[in-house]
Copies of this chain bind each other. A is one copy, B any other.
């Protein structure tokens, strides 16, 4: 613990720690996801631990299906204390609905796949039609089972 909460990270060190390529850092910087890091005397980038957190957030958000643009907005929102409160609420609420929708869909898929696993016990006939159940649960209804 030297510099308090933010020891300096080199480009490759940070990349390794975050599980991304070193070039990706520059790419994210260009896209405004990381913000320009400090530089040492010879122009080398110096990253902070907060950048590592940010990177982790980015990767996790990506896995959840958010685009880099979405993530940039999310970061802007939550990271900038000067963001107008109303905007924060609006954007966050919209995102929240989106997220809840995704959770609902994933749960439907979970149920469908779970049923598939349960029903297909490794022998015997495949009962039900999980895929159709899933699709039906989404919006349409009944019919359309292809396997049998």
Contacts and interface: CB of A to CB of B under 8 A. Distances in A.
- The binding surface of chain A is classed by DSSP as helix
Given A63-B65, A102-B64, A93 B78 contact: no
Q: How many copies does the complex hold?
A: 2
A103 B107 contact: yes
A29 to B, nearest CB: 16
Contacts of A74: 131
A8 interface: no
Contacts of A13: none
B49 A131 contact: no
A86 interface: yes
A120 B56 contact: no
A33 to B, nearest CB: 13
Interface of A: 5, 49-50, 52-54, 56-57, 60-61, 63-65, 74-75, 77-81, 85-86, 88-89, 92-93, 95-96, 99-100, 102-103, 105-107, 109-110, 113-114, 116-117, 120-123, 126, 129-132, 134-135, 138-140, 143-144, 146-148
